[in-house]
């Protein structure tokens, strides 16, 4: 419609100019009158042509994941990539950019062109790490536009299946010489780091010490290898090892027991009332991306999330998929802003690993 109006106005301007130069315009007054009509029509036609967004997409897309392969954020990005490929008719590449608990990947997207061809797959760490690790090289509140929050997921406290611990209380039992209880996390400033810090606040008599990794995948490697006794990781990253019997879950950080693991108690059930922590996973694009592009990406993923097949796949990984108004860009943008403010207040307790 906008292109039609632009063409119509441009044609009108051309016809009026031809008339103005023809013999039918006999007086300077008539020529002035036509000039007054021509100028706005021509200017509006030019403005409409300039504001019309280019065709999208024009080349392959890249989803930058802020953590290494094997973690929940990576798994989710690889589920969404083929859905976008099918809908957009362009290939979608998943590019893992780990480091600084997600800040390296986020900085790369913040500095990319706002044309919808570079997307950022993030979790709640995005709202935590800027307050913990200092200046990240981008403004989390201003340099990004939300596309969609795909879902929420808790973390699990896991240990090797052959470990001596069968409950969280057993693991938290005081160690000889008051040694700290080590736990692997997905990185300093991640929700898993926060989960451990919240446990420490509830159990001040027990000393917990984080062993930070560059993602949940590497953390699980060392838990499985016995280098670290317990890991706090996203449920989705632990799922394959729980299913194969290589890991045992001690507790879940959600406010209620997860339907996927009804026999795994919540952290709150272990004498920590009020304890709960879920994290979100969603897609962002650079600020300034055309609203039509954001809407198109959101619409594609909204439709995908409405399908029973994808919902079941996400639930099997431990996610609670978003639905209804929670899938809008506006709702996700507000969630990110709220969490940036909330975690800023909690950050002082997370500055040390």
- CATH fold group of domain 154-278: D-Maltodextrin-Binding Protein; domain 2 (3.40.190)
> Where is average pLDDT lowest: 76-85, 98-107, 224-233, 237-246?
98-107
**pTM exceeds 0.95, yes or no:** no
Distance CA 256, CA 254 (A): 5
Determine whether 76 is exposed, middle or buried from the number of CB atoms within 10 Å of its CB (0-12, 13-18, 19+): buried
Query: Which pLDDT score, from 0 to 100, does residue 27 have?
Result: 53
Contact 45, 6 (CB under 8 A): yes
Domain spans of the chain, in order of start: 2-51, 61-151+280-350, 154-278
Mean pLDDT across the chain: 85
Distance CA 86, CA 101 (A): 31
Read off the tokens for 256: 């209620």
Is the pLDDT confidence value at 315 over 70? Answer: yes
Share of the chain above pLDDT 70, in %: 83
- CATH fold group of domain 61-151+280-350: D-Maltodextrin-Binding Protein; domain 2 (3.40.190)
Q: How confident is the model over 112-135, as a mean pLDDT? A: 90
Length of the chain: 353
Confirm whether 61-151+280-350 and 154-278 share one CATH topology: yes
Q: What is the per-residue DSSP string for 147-172?
A: EEEEEEEEEEEEEETTSS-SSHHHHT
Nearest alpha carbon to residue 220 among 235, 203, 208? 235
Query: Which pLDDT score, from 0 to 100, does residue 332 have?
Result: 97
Distance CA 76, CA 322 (A): 14
More confident residue, 353 or 92: 92
Q: How confident is the model over 214-222, as a mean pLDDT? A: 92
């Amino acid at each position: 419609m906008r292109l039609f109006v632009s063409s119509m106005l441009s044609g009108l301007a051309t016809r009026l100019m031809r008339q103005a130069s023809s013999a039918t315009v006999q007086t300077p007054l008539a020529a002035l009158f036509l000039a007054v009509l021509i100028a706005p029509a021509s200017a509006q036609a030019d403005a409409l042509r300039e504001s019309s967004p280019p065709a999208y997409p024009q080349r392959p897309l890249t989803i930058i994941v802020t953590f290494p392969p094997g973690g929940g954020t990576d798994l989710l990005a690889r589920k969404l990539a083929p859905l976008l490929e099918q809908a957009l008719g362009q290939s979608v590449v998943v590019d893992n950019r780990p480091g600084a608990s997600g800040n390296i990947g986020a900085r790369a997207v913040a500095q990319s062109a706002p044309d919808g061809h570079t997307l950022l797959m993030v979790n709640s760490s995005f709202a935590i790490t800027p307050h913990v690790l200092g200046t990240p090289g981008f403004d989390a509140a201003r340099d990004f536009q939300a596309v969609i929050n795909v879902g929420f997921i808790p973390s699990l406290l896991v240990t090797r299946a052959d470990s001596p611990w069968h409950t969280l209380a057993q693991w938290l039992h005081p160690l000889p010489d008051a040694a700290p209880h080590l736990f692997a996390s997905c990185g300093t400033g991640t929700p898993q780091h926060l989960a451990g810090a919240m446990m420490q606040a509830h159990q001040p008599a027990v000393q917990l010490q984080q062993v930070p990794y560059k993602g949940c995948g590497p953390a699980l490697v060392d838990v499985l290898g016995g280098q670290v006794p317990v890991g706090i990781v996203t449920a989705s990253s632990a799922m394959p090892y729980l299913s194969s019997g290589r890991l045992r879950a001690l507790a879940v950080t959600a406010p209620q027991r997860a339907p996927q693991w009804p026999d795994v108690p919540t952290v709150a059930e272990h004498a920590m009332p009020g304890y709960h922590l879920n994290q979100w996973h969603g897609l962002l694009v650079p600020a300034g991306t055309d609203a039509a592009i954001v809407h198109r990406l959101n619409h594609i993923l909204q439709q995908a999330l409405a399908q029973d097949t994808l919902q079941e796949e996400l639930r099997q990984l431990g996610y609670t998929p978003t639905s209804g108004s929670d899938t809008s860009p506006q709702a996700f943008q507000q969630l990110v802003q709220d969490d940036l403010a909330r975690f800023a207040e909690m950050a002082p307790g997370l500055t040390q690993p």
